[in-house]
């Protein structure tokens, strides 16, 4: 099986040679950073339609984690185009972080469409380094379709724990590796190197539930599901929340 995966990976990489050449020349990263927001602006509309019921279920108890003032302070990591905004409760104070500054104009549009929220800041930063956010300052941290592409899952979860107040919660919804010995898992293994380059560091083969279970949360409520998505490679999902 390993030899078959290697041969097929090699064939796919040969077909993707122009992309690898652009990456070698230092051009591909620039192309990705510029084009990804336009792709995600379309993809997240479709994703939200297909995952609306699960997102509503996931975020249904957000308000329970509001502080003494009754207002919820929420930090979203890898906010992208802002597709989660409509699921947040009225009056929620939202701070957005994304390493790609090209998302800002899409965020402005989402902010205009979600007047029920109070937007605080848009910070250009990686989730592994949230030094601009104070310790114990957030009631809730959210990331969806983000842990697949961060460089260091352990580090980002350490930062999440740092910025969350005691009793605060981390909400997540992520695509993950399929079950071993399935055809989906096989093709995830074959296509992952090219997928990683094509989609700006996104991994098909991450077992993100393990990082969440190993992190310093007092409670983790996590479920696996097969998402109703057209792309079978992305169907294996986890979602839930973890309490500090």
The pairing of strands 138-144 and 236-243 is unpaired
pLDDT at 154: 94
Domains of the chain, each with CATH number or no CATH: 1-243 (3.40.50.150)
pLDDT at 199: 93
Alpha helix segments (H runs only) across the chain: 2-15, 17-24, 28-58, 104-113, 153-163, 183-198, 208-214
Question: Mind listing the pLDDT tens digit of every residue in the chain (244 residues)?
Answer: 788 888 889 999 999 999 999 999 999 999 999 999 999 999 999 999 999 999 999 999 999 999 888 889 999 999 999 999 999 999 999 999 999 999 998 998 999 999 999 999 899 999 898 999 999 999 999 999 999 999 999 999 999 999 999 999 999 999 999 999 899 999 999 999 999 999 999 999 999 999 999 998 999 999 999 999 999 999 999 999 999 9
pLDDT at 181: 87
- Quote the CA–CA distance of 170 and 238 in Å, as a whole number: 13
124 sits in which H/E element: strand 118-124
pLDDT at 68: 83
The pairing of strands 93-98 and 118-124 is parallel
pLDDT at 67: 85
- Quote the CA–CA distance of 194 and 96 in Å, as a whole number: 29
pLDDT at 2: 82
pLDDT at 101: 93
pLDDT at 138: 96
The whole model's pTM is what? 0.94
């Amino acid at each position: 099986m390993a030899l078959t995966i290697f041969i097929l990976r090699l064939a796919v990489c040969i077909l993707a040679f122009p992309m690898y050449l652009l990456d070698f020349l230092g051009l591909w990263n620039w192309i990705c950073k510029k084009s990804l927001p336009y792709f995600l602006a379309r993809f997240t509309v479709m994703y939200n339609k297909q995952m609306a019921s699960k997102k509503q279920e996931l975020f249904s108890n957000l308000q329970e984690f509001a502080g003494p003032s009754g207002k919820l302070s929420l930090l979203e990591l890898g906010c992208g185009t802002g597709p989660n905004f409509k699921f947040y409760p009225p009056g929620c104070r939202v701070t957005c972080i994304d390493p790609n500054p090209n998302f800002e104009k899409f965020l402005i549009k989402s902010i205009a469409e979600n007047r029920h929220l109070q937007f605080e800041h848009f910070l250009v930063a990686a989730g592994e380094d949230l030094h601009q956010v104070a310790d114990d300052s957030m009631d809730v941290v959210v990331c969806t379709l983000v842990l697949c592409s961060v460089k260091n899952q352990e580090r980002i979860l350490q930062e999440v724990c740092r910025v969350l107040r005691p009793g605060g919660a981390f909400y997540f919804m992520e695509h993950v590796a399929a079950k071993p010995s399935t055809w989906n898992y096989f093709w995830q293994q074959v296509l992952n190197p090219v997928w990683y380059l094509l989609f700006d560091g996104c991994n098909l083969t991450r077992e993100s539930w393990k990082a969440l279970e190993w992190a310093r949360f007092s409670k983790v409520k996590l479920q696996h599901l097969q998402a109703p998505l057209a792309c079978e490679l992305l169907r294996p999902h986890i979602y839930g929340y973890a309490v500090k």
